[in-house]
Amino acid sequence: MALIALNPATGQTIAEYPETSPAEVEEAIRTAHQLHLEWKRTPFSHRAELMANAASILRKGARDFGELMTLEMGKPVSGGVAEAEKCAWVCDYYAENARDTLTDREVETDASRSFVTFQPLGVVLAVMPWNFPFWQVFRFAAPNLMAGNAGLLKHASNVPGCALAIEEVFREAGFPDGLFRTLLIPGSRVDRVIENPLVRAVTLTGSTSAGKAVAAKAGEMLKKTVLELGGSDPYVILEDAELESAASVCATARLINSGQSCIAAKRFIVVAKVREEFEERFVAAMAAGKMGDPMEEDTVVGPQARNDLRDELHDQVVRSIEAGARCVLGGEVPEGPGAFYPPTVLTDVGPGMPAYSEELFGPVASLIPVEDEEEALRVANDSCFGLGAAVFTRDVERGTRIAREELEAGACFVNALVRSDPRLPFGGVKESGYGRELSPFGILEFVNIKTVWVA
Strand 224-228 and strand 199-205: pairing? Answer: parallel
Q: Give me the mean pLDDT over the 74-82 stretch.
A: 98
Beta strands in 300-417 (DSSP E): 326-329, 344-347, 364-370, 388-392, 411-414
* Catalytically annotated residue among 228, 431, 437, 445: 228
Under 8 Å between Cβ of 253 and 390: yes
Q: Give me the mean pLDDT over the 357-361 stretch.
A: 97
Same domain, 214 and 296: no
* Catalytically annotated residue among 87, 91, 250, 262: 262
Q: What is the CATH number of the domain that holds 303?
A: 3.40.309.10
Same domain, 258 and 196: no
Under 8 Å between Cβ of 445 and 94: no
Q: Is the pLDDT of residue 163 over 90?
A: yes
Same domain, 87 and 191: yes
Q: Does a structural domain hold residue 224? A: yes
Q: Does a structural domain hold residue 424? A: no
228 a catalytic residue: yes
Q: Is the pLDDT of residue 116 over 90?
A: yes
Task: For residues 149 and 106, give the distance between their C-alpha atoms in angstroms, rounded to a whole number.
Answer: 23
- The predicted structure's pLDDT at residue 278: 98
Q: Coil, helix or strand for 116?
A: strand
- For 311-346, the pLDDT digits (tens) are 999 999 999 999 999 999 999 999 999 999 999 999
Under 8 Å between Cβ of 432 and 210: no
- For 18-50, the pLDDT digits (tens) are 999 999 999 999 999 999 999 999 999 999 999
Closest by CA position to 203, among listed 185, 223, 221: 223
Same domain, 11 and 88: yes
Task: Quickly count: other Cβ atoms within 10 Å of residue 200's Cβ.
Answer: 21
Q: Does a structural domain hold residue 420? A: no
Q: What is the CATH number of the domain that holds 106?
A: 3.40.605.10
Q: Is the pLDDT of residue 1 over 90?
A: no
Closest by CA position to 20, among listed 3, 6, 45: 3
Task: For residues 388 and 234, give the distance between their C-alpha atoms in angstroms, rounded to a whole number.
Answer: 7
What is the overall mean pLDDT for the chain?
A: 98
- Name beta bridge partners: 13: 6
Q: Is the pLDDT of residue 196 over 90?
A: yes
Same domain, 225 and 240: no
Q: Is the pLDDT of residue 53 over 90?
A: yes
What is the span of the domain harbouring residue 378? 233-414
384 a catalytic residue: no
| Percent composition of the chain: helix, strand, coil (DSSP 3-state, to 5) | 45, 20, 35
Q: Give me the mean pLDDT over the 203-230 stretch.
A: 97
Task: For residues 161 and 71, give the distance between their C-alpha atoms in angstroms, rounded to a whole number.
Answer: 10
Q: Does a structural domain hold residue 120? A: yes
Same domain, 217 and 241: no
Same domain, 264 and 370: yes
Q: Does a structural domain hold residue 111? A: yes
**Angle, nearest 10°, between helix axes 77-101 and 44-60?**
170
- The predicted structure's pLDDT at residue 358: 97
Same domain, 435 and 390: no
Q: Give me the mean pLDDT over the 383-410 stretch.
A: 98
- The predicted structure's pLDDT at residue 93: 98
Q: Using alpha carbons only, what angle is made at residue 417 by residues 412 and 422, rounded to the nearest 5 degrees?
A: 70
Handedness of CA 160, 25, 28, 40 (dihedral sign): positive
Closest by CA position to 341, among listed 308, 301, 297, 294: 301
Q: Give me the mean pLDDT over the 178-204 stretch.
A: 98
Q: Does a structural domain hold residue 225? A: yes
Under 8 Å between Cβ of 269 and 41: no
Q: Is the pLDDT of residue 300 over 90?
A: yes
Handedness of CA 399, 404, 408, 414 (dihedral sign): positive
Task: Quickly count: other Cβ atoms within 10 Å of residue 397's Cβ.
Answer: 9
Same domain, 24 and 172: yes
The runs of H, that is alpha helices, within 327-395 are 354-357, 373-381
Residue 245 backbone phi and psi in degrees, to 5: -65, -45
Give the rounded percent of residues in the chain with a pLDDT score beyond 70.
100
Task: For residues 46 and 404, give the distance between their C-alpha atoms in angstroms, rounded to a whole number.
Answer: 39
**SS3 assignment for 120-131:** ECCEEEEECCCC
Strand 2-6 and strand 13-18: pairing? Answer: antiparallel
Q: Give me the mean pLDDT over the 52-74 stretch.
A: 98
Confidence of residue 66 (pLDDT cuts 50, 70, 90): very high
